Amino acid sequence: MQNWNLIALKQIDSTNEEAKRIIAKNQQIENSVVWAESQTKGKGRLDRKWESPCGNLYCSFIVKNENAHLMGFTTAVAVIEAIKNYVEDENKVKSKWPNDVLVEGKKISGILLEVYENYLIIGVGINVNSHPENSSYPTTNLLETGENVRAYDVLESLSESLLDNINLLKNKGFVVIREKWLQYAYKIGEKIQVNLINESTKGTFKGISEQGALILQTNSEIRNIIAGDVFYL
């Protein structure tokens, strides 16, 4: 795998947690990726659990802590570009704010960013040949929507596209990543509901700001939302 130092494991609690332990023990560990075939304590956003049986992809990229607030979008674009070749209809691979990836409206990948010391840990889960059955939102996997691939092949494609997009962010700025993310955005211009920590609000999904906030046109105002969960109506 070019340009990334691969740390491959059979099983671990969470590749994000392992990345933290590796950072604590080493200096100059950036541009490494921790990959595990399964996780016993996979973590999702907002303290949720991420089911992690063998067959799917679980990895955490360790990079310098730069542009952390834009890296979720950069990674989501990289995931889309990595998996669209494996999906039957590549136009059905979409981004969902803040950094989920959907195929046919169902979640196929999630991203969990964590800052640790001077590093940013970019945790990525991609459903390759199975997906959780009892989640509160629809989910899918690559086998169901297209091809039978190996998690390692997906990791190789993702490593390449992530590096390309991180370089694009560095060299051209967020405008280019934002443009791509918006091109892939699911249900832009349509009605959505956003659940915030203390309230829930509805409106039209207008896009994302130059800082990555979700732009929502409600009945009375235009709101820039920094954190929340999106539901399509």
- Contact positions toward ligand BTN, by CB under 6 A? 14-16, 39, 42-45, 48, 50, 58-60, 100, 110-112, 123-125
Residue closer to ligand BTN by CB (options 110, 212) is 110
Structure tokens at 177: 């990543």
Q: How far is the CB of 58 from ligand BTN (least distance, A)?
A: 4
Residues 6+ apart with CB under 8 A from 197: 227, 228
DSSP structure class, residue 159: H
Residue closer to ligand BTN by CB (options 206, 232) is 232
Degrees, nearest 5: CA angle 195-104-189: 55
Residue closer to ligand BTN by CB (options 6, 176) is 6
Q: How far is the CB of 186 from ligand BTN (least distance, A)?
A: 15
Residue closer to ligand BTN by CB (options 82, 112) is 112
Q: How far is the CB of 154 from ligand BTN (least distance, A)?
A: 12
Instruction: Choose among 90, 51, 50: nearest CA to 183.
Output: 90
Q: How far is the CB of 111 from ligand BTN (least distance, A)?
A: 6
Residue closer to ligand BTN by CB (options 31, 135) is 135
Place of tokens 């979700």: 214
- Dump strand ranges (E) for the chain: 5-12, 32-39, 57-64, 93-96, 100-103, 106-116, 119-126, 191-195, 200-208, 214-217, 222-225, 229-232
State the maximum Cα–Cα separation within the chain, in Å, rounded to a whole number.
52
Q: How far is the CB of 233 from ligand BTN (least distance, A)?
A: 21
3-state secondary structure of 116: strand
